[in-house]
Amino acid sequence: MTSSHGLLFNRQSSVHQILGAGLFADVILWRQKNVTLMILILTLASWLMFERSNYTLLSYVSNVLLLLLTILFLWAKSAQLLNRPTPPIPHLQLSEETINEAATLIHERINTMLSASYDIALGKDPKMFARVAAYLVLISIIGSLTDFRTLCYTGVVAVLTVPVAYERHEEHVDSSIKTGNMKLKQLYRRVDEECIKKVRKWILEKYKLS
């Protein structure tokens, strides 16, 4: 739900709408609590398991699928021989609406990224260049401190916790960010003015000496 206060970055959409307003957004914002909780528990359990064993993701998935298929196959065969019910396997199928929502979301995000990359490459957006460069430096620092697997698990946990925390405390977070942004601008303006004064003074001194 969109709050009545001024939204950050002058946006007009709620967090739910920004995330696509579909199943993906519902899961991220804990509106499908059972699904979100299951993903979070599986993520934490798999992280603990992989950290304490020599399994890799590929070998683990292969062994689990092999075990599951073997159990179901033997169950189905024994059920046929003993005239028992077959395994209660649900008919899983993604709806066209879900696929379209995911495709639309991915399409929008990729186009936005490509458009921003095009502007950066042509030098049209220096601020975006500085922001992307800062993000890449941050990613490089984080990558040097942890491995890719732990980073993926941390990313999943962050995706399932940060957006919903922001949505629930949106007014407070927006107010704090706006206040901090104003203070940073004031500090930048003060530093900028001092630097300009020093440069101007240095130029005048050099001019007098010459």
Could you give the count of Cα atoms lying within 13 Å of 193 in the half-sphere of its Cβ?
Answer: 5
Q: pTM of this prediction?
A: 0.51
Convert the pLDDT of each residue in 82-141 to its tens digit.
Answer: 888 877 776 767 788 888 888 888 998 899 888 888 887 877 778 778 888 888 888 888
Burial of 28: CB neighbours in 10 Å, binned 0-12, 13-18, 19+: buried
Residues with Cβ < 8 Å from 146, sequence gap 6 or more? 154
User: Would the pLDDT of 188 be above 70?
Assistant: yes
Contact between 56 and 194 under an 8 Å Cβ cutoff? The reply is no
Tell me the per-residue pLDDT of 15-61, one tens digit each, with 9 for 90 and over: 788 887 788 888 888 888 888 898 888 888 877 777 777 677 777 77
| pLDDT above 50 (res 3) | no
Q: Six-digit token pair at 114?
A: 């490509």
- Domain spans in the chain, listed from the N-terminal domain onward: 8-168, 178-210
Return the CA Rg of the chain: 27
